[in-house]
């Protein structure tokens, strides 16, 4: 028999209705501190310290790893490196990184094209339907860089996406579906 105390571990009551940067920063900060705002609706919860958004859970790891090791790290948590599919998800991921790293340094996301030049695939298997490249990226430099950072700002101050050599090490963002 499932007791009330166990049910409360499986479900939490909060909403994820945010659009402005400030709203997103608040939503992210409340959740990484484990204090989700209650709005009366009861839905499946993300693990402690993960941020619920669009029925998925996102988290950031500050310890730098190469792209493949970062993906495996996420997989071992039942997740993948993060995919994103619209401006709100993109801004939420930026907000999540900002909450841990106010300087917004680059981080790995789950996009790569190492099987085919510019054949972009998300490691979580979702559709490639959204991009936020920096100007002049992806440029396949270094004889074929094929893994993607968010918050790239070394050549231009845009802090969007850059293809980069997969063996370089960066913090990273994982995502897992809720259900």
Residues that bind ligand BGC (CB under 6 A): 137, 139, 141, 145, 154-155, 162-164
- Compare residues 124 and 145 and give the one whose CB is closer to ligand BGC: 145
**Which helix or strand (DSSP H or E) is residue 59 part of?**
strand 56-65
**Looking at beta carbons, which residue is closest to Ca ion?**
163
Minimum separation from the CB atom of position 139 to Ca ion (A): 4
Choose the contact partner of 89 out of Ca ion, ligand BGC, none; CB within 5 to 8 A by kind. none
Alpha-carbon span 124 to 7, nearest angstrom: 29
- Compare residues 41 and 135 and give the one whose CB is closer to ligand BGC: 135
Of 139, 144, 169, 177, which one interacts with Ca ion (CB under 5 A)? 139
Of 159, 163, 174, 175, which one interacts with Ca ion (CB under 5 A)? 163
| 55 touches Ca ion by CB under 5 A | no
Using CB under 5 A, list all residues that contact Ca ion.
137, 139, 162-163
């Amino acid at each position: 028999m499932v007791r009330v105390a166990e049910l409360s571990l499986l479900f939490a009551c909060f909403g994820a209705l945010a659009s402005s940067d400030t709203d997103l920063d608040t939503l992210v900060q409340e959740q990484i501190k484990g204090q989700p705002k209650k709005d009366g609706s009861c839905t499946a919860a993300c693990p402690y310290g993960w941020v619920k958004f669009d029925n998925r859970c996102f988290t950031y790891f500050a310890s730098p790893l190469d792209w493949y090791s970062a993906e495996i790290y996420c997989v071992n948590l039942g997740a993948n490196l993060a995919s994103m599919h619209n401006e709100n998800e993109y801004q939420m991921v930026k907000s999540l990184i900002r909450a841990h790293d106010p300087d917004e340094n680059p981080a790995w996301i789950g996009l790569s094209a190492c099987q085919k030049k510019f054949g972009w695939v998300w490691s979580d298997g979702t559709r490639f339907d959204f991009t936020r490249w920096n100007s002049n990226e992806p440029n396949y430099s270094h004889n074929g860089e094929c893994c993607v950072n968010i918050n790239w700002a070394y050549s231009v101050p845009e802090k969007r996406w850059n293809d980069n050599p997969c063996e370089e090490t960066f913090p990273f963002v994982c995502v897992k579906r809720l259900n």
